[in-house]
Structure 1
Amino acid sequence: MPPLLLPFGTAAHAGPSSLHSVPVEAQLLFIGAIFLGTLIINRFSIRIGIPAILGVLALGLMINIHVLDVSHAEVDNLHTFALALLLFYAGLKTDLKSIRGFLEYGLLLAVGGVAICTILLGISIYWLSSSTGTALAPGISETMPLGAAFLIAACLGSTDAGATLSVLRKVRGHIPRKVLQLLEFESALNDPSALIIFSIFLSLFIASNNTHDSFPSLAIAASSELLQKLGSGLLIGIAFGYISKLTIDSFVIDKEQLLIVAMSIALIDYGSSFFLGGSGFVSVYVTGAFMANLHYNDPELNHQSIQDVLLPFNTMTEISIFLLFGLLIHPADLAPCLPAGLAAAAALMLIARPISVVCFQSISPFNRRESVLIAWCGLRGAVPLALSFNVQEAISTYPSLEPLAAAQLAQNSQGIIFIVVILNLLFQGISIAPLCRALSAPTQPSSFG
């Protein structure tokens, strides 16, 4: 993936009060206080019915240190590590046995649903937004570049089961177990699906920027390179899945050692895939998925045990991404792209996500009430925010626009993604629990019937 950039030109604001001028003891005190604050804010977020990660994001925005002296490389490394760990954990959560009876529907919803949602949202953003994303301009007279619109949409393809399940905690008795299992499976599988679709659009976008050769030839070359990376990543992921089983069966003697195995396998897997020409993100997900569906010699040392030891790290990763965005993004920078962000959020929640669920209703084992809840549970989380760095970097070099306009569009594109995630977590997060109660009211609490 191309190098990641700081959001909204943050590094330009670094000054005398940068992080390097603060004693390390004060830094540790500050970091400790912030993470303790996230624990407190999590508790209050769940109590008022919003996803916990939205509360963390709000905490970062309230503190909003806009003078952090963080280099591009540091942000790049952080988000690469974060995405790799999130995808590895998503693979571990891809338990095929948990959705027996509706595996075909789950696969279609997680893969085809992401594609349909991305296309519909991309068309909506293209039709609604102005050329630089600063206003609403319905029609085709003054539109955002099509490639930029689809990059933004592809960024928002994956759902976050953690955010959904955190707000459903109070109403679990009103939700059929199979719906919860589907939501968790969909979220685990659509992370790599969204990443692959995003990579496809990014490759086509970069190819379209190259004016030296014809677009068809460049698109074919880009597609060939992408397929090679995906194929290599798949094979490497499978190999490391079996290596992890061999390691656990041969060397692990208690559960405490599983954390070392999991972190080591994930990091070696990602690094090996890079040097072997594959996609590291695909390989770590495939490794996690194989680990989740293999059998081990010791029944107490299995994928569920690995999930348990990795869960704190996965939670820490999500919290860190949201906290970093809140700390580095200046709220005033979001004002120009607020109309486009509102329109994109409405298109995602009211059009793209529901249609992507309805398209597969003919093979769905769920009734209409359950399908309504599934359609409304498409909360977005850390992955879209992490991918937004790549969107900003790619759009900032768009040759069809003047450099100033390209920079403005790049900044507003990341702002649109940020606004969509906030509004999605806020409005859908608050309304999910009441919707569950309303849908289950005429029937037994355990099912929508």
Structure 2
Amino acid sequence: MTTEMVMIGISVLIVIGILLHHPSRTLGIPSLLIFMGVGLSLGNGEFNFVYDNLDQTAWIGGLALNVIVFVGGLNTSTDKIKVAYKEGGVLASFGVIFTTLIFAAILYGLLDFNLITCLLFAAIVSSTDAAAVFSILESKKLKLKEQTDTVLEFESATNDPVAMLMVIVLTDMTLASHQAVAISALSLHLASQILVAIVVGFLIGKLAVLLLNRISLAEFGLIPVFVLASFIIATYSAEMLGGNILLASYIAGVVIGNGIKRGQLVNLHFFNSLSWLAQALMFIVLGLQIFPQTLMNVFWISIIPGLLLILVARPLAVQLCYLPFVKASWKKRLFISMIGLKGATPIVFALIPAAAGVPGAIEIVHMVFFFVLMSVFIQGGAIAPLANKLGLEQKEQHKAE
């Protein structure tokens, strides 16, 4: 297939997804499911077209996640971070680890997988998804008491480094057929990834802000172009130096979004549009990669583990994380424990062992797909009713604003 046909085909799918976006919101269906459904229905043999490229799908998904996390950082104020970094930081690190361990134990008792594969599977679905959290909170216009929404946003934007490192290490362990790993080396590697990402993202973000504020570009349209180039430099420089690219994206976004003094409006519109494009492309390509005829093979065995992830593993992990935060209300703890939204991130992570040739990884990809659907419908649909039931929604403040 020619490049022209690929570009036209992808663009047509995006147009279809956008046209379906408004009626989907009326029905309460998240946009990510619409875009994924478009790809799922049109890329698996229909019109004599079959898309099946795990490496390319993983690359596109990673790039899109990078953009989405950066835009999330641009839209996050430092005031919110000062409030949320303690709770969000614990959830983004220990929460991922606890979820992995608890869910791996559940999978080991339910599925015919060895322990390392269960740990790998659990690590893949251990983190919350930034794209899903940002888009669903924004679409529902929710403002929650006790900075609950800010904690969820901070957690989802910063919990990928721990999950990604565990997925990569466990993938290597599975392929090497050994079950030993040096905890000290793993901890050092994770610490260096986080430190490099923070330093590089912060420094390049600060440099971009300094240059933009000093030069005062007369053409406002150049400001988002400059910011886009700075974002690419910051994130891929961090990755080259051994840092986590998603964390670097978030840090750079926060620094730039809170630092520039001119062109905020044009910058906001440009990057919100870019984020939508990234989401549309990512979900459509992920949909193209999934073959519907193979999904039914894992449908029934996915239901119980998926429910236990939502109702047992995530809540237990969150409650453990909140033990030091005695001032947090039980309502806030309950809400955060029940709203651990999954989205494209687990599917992208699942493609890592699949592309590497881990036995049974394709089955895991398909099961993760069902987990995402269950999370979006159950947890995504429960956000507004649960917040209202627990009295966490700031209705009066929202109206005043």
> What range is the shorter-chain TM-score in?
0.7 to 0.9
The answer to whether 1:388 aligns with 2:350 is yes
Q: Which has the larger radius of gyration?
A: 1
Offset of residue 94 of structure 1: 4.6
Distance 1:174 1:235 in 2: 31
Task: Mark the CA change 1:101 to 1:87 in structure 2 (over 3 Å): closer, same or farther.
Answer: closer
Residue type at the aligned position of 2:209: K
> Which of 346, 358, 364 is residue 413 of structure 1 equivalent to?
364
2:50 aligned partner = 68
Aligned runs of 1:266-277 on 2, under 5 Å? 266-277=231-242
CA 1:224 to 1:446, structure 2 compared with 1: closer, same or farther past 3 Å?
same
Give the superposition deviation at 1:72.
5.4
2: CA distance between counterparts of 1:77 and 1:165? Answer: 22
Alignment match, 1:136: none
Deviations 1:398-449 (A, max 9, x none): xxxxxxxx2xx111111111110111112222333333343349x99549xx
Change (3 A) 1:356 1:301: farther
Q: Which residue of 2 aligns with 1:329?
A: 290
Question: 1:311-347 CA deviation, whole Å, 9 max, x = no partner?
Answer: 1111211221111122231112122222332222112
Tell me the distance in 2 between the aligned counterparts of 1:174 and 1:186. Answer: 16
C-alpha deviation, 1:175, in angstroms: 4.4
**In structure 1, what is the equivalent of residue 104 of structure 2?**
122
| Structure 2 equivalent of residue 264 of structure 1 | 229
Contact 2:192 2:243 in 1 (8 A): yes
The residue number in structure 2 matching 1:134 is none
Tell me which residue corresponds to 2:211: 247
Question: Structure 2 CA distance, aligned partners of 1:307 and 1:323?
Answer: 24
Candidates 172, 181, 202, aligned match of 1:238: 202
Following superposition, the deviation at residue 88 of structure 1 comes to: 2.5
Decide whether the 8 Å contact of 2:20 with 2:34 is kept in 1: yes
**Residues 1:351 and 2:312 aligned together:** yes
1:46 has 2:25 as partner: yes
Partner deviation per Cα, 1:339-367 (whole Å, 9 max, x = no partner):
33222211221012222332306626553
Q: What is the DSSP-based 3-state SS (H/G/I as helix, E as strand, rest coil) of the residue aligned with 1:363?
A: coil
**Residue ranges of structure 2 left out of the alignment (5+ in a row):** none
Q: 1:177 to 1:101 in 2, by over 3 A?
A: closer
Determine if the alignment matches structure 1 residue 195 to structure 2 residue 161.
yes
Query: What does the per-residue CA deviation read over 1:120-173, in whole Å, with 9 as the maximum and x for residues that have no partner?
Result: 22222222111xxxxxxxxxxxxx122222222222233245534655568657
Q: 1:306 to 1:222 in 2, by over 3 A?
A: same
CA contact 1:87–1:285 (8 Å) conserved in 2: yes
Q: TM-score, normalised by structure 1?
A: 0.75
What amino acid is aligned across from residue 212 of structure 2 in structure 1? I
Q: Which amino acid aligns with 1:202?
A: I
* Greater share of helix: 2
Shift of the 229–162 alpha-carbon distance from structure 1 to 2, 3 Å rule, reads: closer
Cα distance, 1:340–1:391 mapped onto 2, change above 3 Å: farther
Cα shift at 1:41: 2.3
**Structure 2 CA distance, aligned partners of 1:206 and 1:174?**
42
Query: Which letter maps to 1:346?
Result: L
Given the alignment of the two structures, is residue 430 of structure 1 paired with residue 377 of structure 2, yes or no?
no
Mean alpha-carbon deviation: is it higher for 346-355 or for 159-168?
159-168
1:268/1:64 CA distance change after superposition, 3 Å = same
Give the Cα separation in 1 of the matches to 2:65 and 2:83: 31
Q: Aligned-residue CA RMSD in angstroms?
A: 3.4
- Contact 1:91/1:286 (8 A) holds in 2: yes
Aligned length: 392
Counterpart-to-counterpart distance in 2, 1:114 and 1:231: 18
Contact 2:107 / 2:305 at 8 angstroms: preserved in 1? yes
Give the residue type in structure 1 aligned to 2:104: G
| Shift in alpha-carbon separation, 1:126–1:365, aligned structure 2, 3 A | same
- Residue 327 of structure 1 aligns with an amino acid whose one-letter code is L
User: Identity of aligned pairs, percent?
Assistant: 22
What amino acid is aligned across from residue 251 of structure 2 in structure 1?
V
Unaligned 5+ segments in structure 1 are 1-18, 131-143, 398-405
Task: Kindly provide the amino acid, as one letter, of the partner of residue 389 in structure 1.
Answer: L
Give the 3 Å change call, closer, same or farther, for CA 94–109 of structure 1 in structure 2.
farther
How many angstroms apart in 1 are the aligned matches of 2:323 and 2:181?
36
**Displacement, 1:57?**
1.7
Letter in 2 for 1:89: V
Q: Which amino acid aligns with 2:272?
A: L
Q: Over residues 23-73 of structure 1, what are the superposed CA-to-partner deviations in whole Å (9 max), with x where a residue is unaligned?
A: 93x655543432222123222222222322112222222324343356555
Contact 1:171–1:436, Cα closer than 8 Å, also in 2: no
Give 1:379 shift.
1.4
After alignment, is 232-241 or 410-419 more displaced?
232-241
Give the Cα separation in 2 of the matches to 1:277 and 1:437. 43
Contact 1:45/1:51, CA 8 A, preserved across alignment: yes
The 3-state SS of whatever aligns with 2:71 is helix
